[in-house]
Amino acid sequence: MKKLNVKNNEAAIYGVGGLGEIGKNTYGIQFQDEIILIDAGIKFPEDDLLGVDYVIPDYQYLVENKDKIKALVITHGHEDHIGGVPYLMKVLNVPIYAGPLAMALIKNKLEEHGLLNSVELHEISDKSVLKFQKMKVSFFRTTHSIPDTVGIAVHTPVGVIVETGDYKFDLTPVTNQPPDLQEMARLGAEGVLCLMSDSTNAEKPIWTKSEKWVGTSIAHIFDNIEDRIIFATFASNISRIKTACDNAMAHGRKIAVFGRSMDAAIVNGRELGYLDIPDDAFVDAHELQSLPANKTLILCTGSQGEPMAALSRIANGTHRQISIQPGDTVIFSSNPIPGNTTSVNSVINKLEEAGANVIHGRVNNIHTSGHGGQEEQKLMLRLMKPKFFMPIHGEYRMLKIHTELAEQCGVPLDHSFIMQNGDVLALSKDNARMAGHFTAGDVYIDGSGIGDVGNVVLRDRQLLSEEGIVVVVATINLANQEIQSGPDILSRGFVYMRESGELLDEGRRRVFKTIRKSMRAKKATESSIRNAIIDDLQEFLYDKTERHPMILPMLIMNGKD
């Protein structure tokens, strides 16, 4: 078991995920034999992680210290903060504390994984207080692009450690949940030992626009569209869904919902009172055909260009119930997540080609960030007045700029700590120091597989995508040193076989000689013959084509006895 270099009179804080990256937010605050976990998120894969659905942290340190973990507390219901919950619960069953919307979303996830009845769940509000033997947890309301967002204050024997979660200071939120500036100021006045604060927009010298401002822009767009509207946004952005639905009802439009996650968002939003939409405002897909175009709104997922989301299938012409009609207006009410720009642009192009008018981008004022810019980050620092500062939730350059903002707000630069996942910061009442490191790498989720896709598999996938594969099939009798059939060579994604007969024939002759030579060697084995085929054919093909396809020998062994 990994033991931290932390003294008995020190608290420890660390990121299992979320440091030096956007996503995977999972943080620990530890005092002696008690650990409070904050969030359990996923990260969406970069383009080079071929076939990977998403990425979670390596939970090994937490598993080794599972008896110390008292609670998993959740700041809000976005995937980069709750997407890892079912995977964490499979190896670490601890009580979960979350606000109403986050709890509803977590229950859905646990049910999908067959864990709902085995996990202890507690719904909290910003007024809740959790008491443990040595630590206490309180909450304060913040604003983000999803309701029920809270920051977390962990009261340890050496001082208060505050983790903001994702936030901006939206003073006119459409959900009527303004940030609790008084509670933040009270925490600051009583003394914050260390502030862990969201760094996502640390590069932007702005005060992020209010959701109400986006609502005004969307209302103006609805006023000027005569035909059908297709509105795409994140299913988790209840505020944006509310704005779209309110405008649809104001213009006498019926609402059709497409996408499983969007359906779930509407159900949760109505049950929790965030969406005031009567039953008769909704229509089914088959009812759309009987309604005039100017009396319909299609609300769907797919604003990030996800291949299987409703909007992508509409753009590709593969959706069973909806196709683009002349005059349709498609509104992308979100900005592409880093890595998704190409797929989003592809969907936009296909929609335009099909005859739709597409509204997207900052120029149309139809999206605002859920994260505060530099001015809001400075306000948080001024309210909390921390002795020490640890920027979180951001890539390195964002964390670095955030420490510079902290210095402008009175936190000495040597009191700020830019950390990597697995780094441990030890805090006493007056001092902070680095106190070791534990392994906190990435674990890849591919379908139902957890962690069974590693660097070797990813390298193979990269090679296949770039260079293709060459399969060698032969039947051999090793005992008699005979080639009974073959070798045959098949190419997929490397060369077009009909036009490369001469190359493949020469390759077959070469492989034939290689197999015969390998079988005659002392202690020849199936493995040694396979390796000889790979080495020789790779050299031959590179010499002829300057490419490195994957070589896959398939040997049928006869006469082993």
Residue list for the binding site? 51, 53, 76, 78, 80-81, 144, 166, 235-237, 367-371, 393, 446
Q: Side chain identity at 537, as an amino acid letter?
A: L
Task: Collapse the DSSP code of 155 into the 3-class scheme (helix H, G, I; strand E, B; otherwise coil) and give the result.
Answer: strand
336 prior amide bond cis, ω within 30: no
End-to-end CA gap in the chain: 48
Q: Write the DSSP symbol of residue 364.
A: G
Q: Taking each helix axis as running N to C, give the angle between helix 374-384 and helix 396-408, from 0 to 180 degrees, rounded to the nearest 10.
A: 50
Alpha-carbon distance of 82 to 87, in angstroms, equals: 10
Q: How do beta strands 423-427 and 11-17 pair?
A: antiparallel
Q: Is there a contact between 194 and 386 (Cβ–Cβ < 8 Å)?
A: yes
Alpha-carbon distance of 61 to 360, in angstroms, equals: 43
Q: What angle do CA 495, 500, 504 make, to 5 degrees?
A: 90
Active site members? 198, 371
Provide the annotated binding site for Ca(2+). Answer: 51, 53, 446
Residue 234 in tokens: 């994140």
Beta strands in 345-422 (DSSP E): 357-359, 388-392
Alpha-carbon distance of 281 to 427, in angstroms, equals: 55
Residue 129 in tokens: 């207080």
- Provide long-range contacts, Cβ within 8 A and 24+ apart, for 395-398: 395/20, 395/21, 395/22, 396/20, 397/203, 398/199, 398/200, 398/201, 398/202, 398/203
**21 CB burial (10 A radius; 0-12, 13-18, 19+):** buried
Provide the annotated binding site for substrate. Answer: 235-237, 367-371
